[in-house]
A and B are shown apart, each in its own frame.
Chain A
């Protein structure tokens, strides 16, 4: 039944896409990610992207770890809001594109993504640039993964920016309430992946008036070309959902949300390596959002036994607003200042 629903939703997506293309006018062909880039390595669904930088952009390379539950170009959605454009102007900038995982990777554990894949990407970056360490920026669950990696491989990470990254899941707000009651065993027995449309629906569900408010805002501001451009780019990003591999999703819900193993220092990789927060040595900036309902402020604090160097900046915006809203430039500036010092 869920399989048929999946197909139905795909058809509906196609109809919506067609309708949007007709109404979006010139913005319909707007690129997904605006900074020029090339794929420098790939393995399966995953690829490593290198963004075009001026020749004087030297120094420790920056590796961006986007979230696994949506597409990476939220950090590069328009020229005016792009984080990646700003970083690439100053440093050699790389990004892990998780691609569109299908059923073929449904059996891979979460540690395959937060340890093995990041390790492979860093290996390629080290080969290309000759640098021993990288700076890292992780967004949302990508930030959680970057943090876990910095605990597992402390010698490889110099600076670490955690952009609205949940680390402690004990008081994770409404998402935790749903995660705690989610039927994980039934999910594990019946699904090879968590469909992207279901994830997108759940995010809309926890903000029930969101769609109405968005439509009303569009009605009020649709004459403004700048707003129309950003709105269209954002809608395209929202309408581009990504499936979550089943076992990784199961572990995300059980190990992180339900059992909160990371903040207790009890999280283990599939190979049995303990993720010890006390091992982190990377200089870390926690960049969180005051109105975040996905990773509330209570979730973005470091685990108690992590005594590594850390600073924190709170931006008055929401989870997505921090990357594309009116305060996104402040957030980007803070991240750049931290990385460049």
Chain B
């Protein structure tokens, strides 16, 4: 009796899942539904743009920086950072190319390690004395 109830419940759940699955699958693939959804997203976004513009105008009236202006400043900073990365890469390439030329001065890192070696040698010399 109990098992029969379980089986019925299981069968009912499976049927419900299958029916719901088919119905919702059809719905999300339906072109008309997709178009309507797109229209509602468009309307929300247009509303958001208008609302943001209104807020920006109010901030400007109070002589305060608006969100749009702050974002612009952040984006300018990103541009400057990008430019700096580009320039430092070009500079590294230039230094690399120069150091490969015959008779080029030693690389700074190599020079430093040689200076360190010399310093250690002289320290050892002083200690031996």
Contact = CB atoms under 8 A, between A and B. Distances in A.
A77 to B, nearest CB: 27
- The A interface is mostly helix, strand or loop, or mixed, namely helix
Nearest to A1: B48
Contact of B71 (A108, A192, A206): A192
Interface in B23-76: 24-25, 27-29, 31, 34-35, 37-39, 41-42, 44-49, 51-52, 71, 74-75
A309 interface: no
Contact of A190 (B24, B52, B75, B81): B52
A213 B13 CA distance: 12
A190 B46 contact: yes
B45 A104 contact: no
A183 B21 CA distance: 28
A209 B23 CA distance: 10
Given A44-B78, A190-B46, A178 B71 contact: no
A13 to B, nearest CB: 21
B41 A190 contact: no
B21 A209 contact: yes
A189 to B, nearest CB: 5
A3 to B, nearest CB: 7
B67 to A, nearest CB: 9
Contacts, number: 82
A181 B82 CA distance: 34
Contacts of B25: 208-209
Interface string A163-196: 0000000000010011001110011011110000
**Interface size grouping (class) on chain A:** 20 to 34
A226 B77 CA distance: 46
A209 B24 contact: yes
A294 to B, nearest CB: 14
Nearest to B84: A43
Contacts of A205: 28
Contact of A181 (B38, B44, B51): B38
Contact of A186 (B29, B49, B75, B81): B49
A2 B42 CA distance: 12
A43 to B, nearest CB: 5
B85 interface: yes
Nearest to A119: B89
Contact of A123 (B24, B27, B52, B89): B89
Nearest to A189: B49
A104 B77 contact: yes
Contacts of A103: 71, 74-75
B45 A174 contact: no
Contacts of B28: 174, 205-206, 208
A1 B49 contact: no
B7 interface: no
17 contacts: A1-B47, A43-B85, A44-B81, A104-B77, A106-B71, A174-B28, A182-B41, A186-B45, A190-B45, A205-B28, A206-B28, A208-B21, A208-B27, A208-B28, A209-B17, A209-B25, A212-B20
4 A-B pairs with least C-beta separation: A183-B42, A208-B24, A190-B49, A104-B74
